[in-house]
A = this chain, B = another copy of it.
Amino acid sequence: MSLPSQISFSKKRTWSHDLPISFLMQQGVENPGVLSLAAGLVDQGSLPVDSTRKALEALFADPKTGREALQYGTTAGSLALRTLLLSHLSNLEQKSADELGITVDNIIVTTGSQQFLSLAGEVLLDPGDICLVAAPTYFVFLGVLQGLGARIISVETDEFGMRMDALESTLEMLESQGELAKVKMIYLVSDYENPSGLSLSIDRRRQVVEIARKWSRMQRILILEDLAYRELCYDGPVAPSIRSFDPTGETVILTQTFSKSFSPGLRVGFGVASPEICAAIRDKKGNDDFGSTNLSQHILARVLDDKLYYEHVEQLRSVYREKRDCMLDAADACFSDIPGVHWVHPNGGLYVWMTLPESIETGFQSPLFQRAVHEDKVMYVPGELFYAFDQGISAEEQPAIQKNHMRLTFGVQNPEGIREGMKRLSNAVKSLS
């Protein structure tokens, strides 16, 4: 007997259908001969096998510490790790924990920073609530917002990140439409944004806190600061966070991860927020999984404590710096003679954002994408995925989504693969120019 009745999914299930990440991953699987400048993985060769092995040997040399790592932890995460995270943050910000207004109780360890982003969205956003984002921005967080039924409103960016004048005019517009009470959050990737590679200037980091506070008339407008790439800096020191300009911590929620700077397979990220927000996130996380992998937290605590972590990050920077330079050199060599093509020189992160002439679209269904994957055997991520669609207004009212960009990553391929990939990609672009 087959059942006549259908499964009745939740309403929010219908909001998170057809995520582009699934299509991309499928493309990778179906086209194994394709050289990927698309995959958001990290460099395979520099994954910290030795540091991790050392940490594990030390951990399991004593059955007592081994058992602790194999037992349940707490929902907020290991106290030892959170204590080390305090000094890690102090180091990065060049300020004491006191100056930052942070204690261990402000920190929650999560399954990558992705889980923290998702939890922050869950406890703060109702369907119809508004989150302001840069255009372009990290598309998996756009998926989170969409899955929560939130309205996503894009704010223009320039070479210094989200434009503060555009942010103010968006808030003015929303106020004039009677929507200010719906604005709950401004999402910002401060350093080497995925996909654009751009960073928010230090001036704007200060300004955005002031703007959020100024417009918090009806309810608090929070800044969710995503610092996933902050430690992958190749041309200078780590920049101070937006959070560092909000010493009371009332406005900014910060999240970081060890996925890019150490190992994504451990799935350890963390967030810093005010006590009220931490309580809300702990409650939700208590229902969701009551704590991320304890073993991973013990490994991270070891490598932070004995400085293996910092050695690894130094080494990683030089690996990625070389690959970044390799991709930029290859771009010069292969693309500079194609009219209307230009690209960002990122100071960190994993991505080069390339703009094509407006006549060349880059989407999954475009001639360029089809030609690149099927003939030239190279893959990129179409830029249009990184622009939000505002579900609160009609298609005609949407700001124009730019369709002529590509996100290229130098994370996965070695220098040879990067050069070959860029050559193949330039062939595809030239065939359509």
Q: Would you call A8 and B184 a contact (CB within 8 A)?
A: yes
Knowing A124-B10, A287-B118, A288-B115 touch, does A44 contact B60 (C-beta < 8 A)?
no
Give the most central of A2, A111, A125: most B CB within 10 Å: A111
Determine if A85 is an interface residue (Cβ-Cβ < 8 Å). no
Q: Which residues of B contact A124 (CB under 8 A)?
A: 7-10, 13
* A47 to B275 Cα, complex, angstroms: 34
Knowing A286-B19, A289-B111 touch, does A52 contact B71 (C-beta < 8 A)?
no
Closest to A13 in B: B123
Q: Which residues of B contact A47 (CB under 8 A)?
A: 66-67, 70-71
- Choice from B63, B118, B219 contacting A288 with Cβ under 8 Å: B118
* A298 to B56 Cα, complex, angstroms: 14
Determine if A41 is an interface residue (Cβ-Cβ < 8 Å). yes
Which of A159-167, A261-269, A325-333, A384-392 faces chain B? Answer: A261-269
Scan A1-34; emit 1 where CB is below 8 A from any B CB, else 0. 1111111111111001101011001000000000
- Choice from B10, B218, B265 contacting A70 with Cβ under 8 Å: B265
* A409 to B292 Cα, complex, angstroms: 24
Scan A41-81; emit 1 where CB is below 8 A from any B CB, else 0. 11011011100110010001001001111111110000000
Interface residues of A in 131-190 (CB under 8 A from B): 140, 143-144, 147, 184
Knowing A47-B70, A66-B49, A71-B264 touch, does A11 contact B126 (C-beta < 8 A)?
yes
- Choice from B2, B219, B296 contacting A248 with Cβ under 8 Å: B2
* A333 to B406 Cα, complex, angstroms: 74
Which of A276-284, A313-321, A354-362, A369-377 faces chain B? Answer: A276-284
Q: Would you call A123 and B10 a contact (CB within 8 A)?
A: yes
* A284 to B15 Cα, complex, angstroms: 10
- Choice from B19, B69, B122, B291 contacting A283 with Cβ under 8 Å: B19
Q: Which residues of B contact A289 (CB under 8 A)?
A: 110-112, 114-115, 118, 267
Q: Which residues of B contact A71 (CB under 8 A)?
A: 41-42, 44, 47, 263-265
Determine if A106 is an interface residue (Cβ-Cβ < 8 Å). no
Determine if A220 is an interface residue (Cβ-Cβ < 8 Å). yes
Give the most central of A8, A144, A283: most B CB within 10 Å: A8
Determine if A322 is an interface residue (Cβ-Cβ < 8 Å). no
Q: Which residues of B contact A277 (CB under 8 A)?
A: 7
Determine if A216 is an interface residue (Cβ-Cβ < 8 Å). yes
Scan A214-242; emit 1 where CB is below 8 A from any B CB, else 0. 00111110100000000000000000000
* A218 to B5 Cα, complex, angstroms: 6
- Choice from B9, B216, B293, B298 contacting A292 with Cβ under 8 Å: B293
Determine if A429 is an interface residue (Cβ-Cβ < 8 Å). no
* Chain A contact residues, CB within 8 Å of chain B: 1-13, 16-17, 19, 21-22, 25, 40-42, 44-45, 47-49, 52-53, 56, 60, 63, 66-74, 110-112, 114-115, 118, 122-126, 129, 140, 143-144, 147, 184, 213, 216-220, 222, 248, 250-251, 259, 263-267, 274, 276-277, 280, 282-284, 286-296, 298
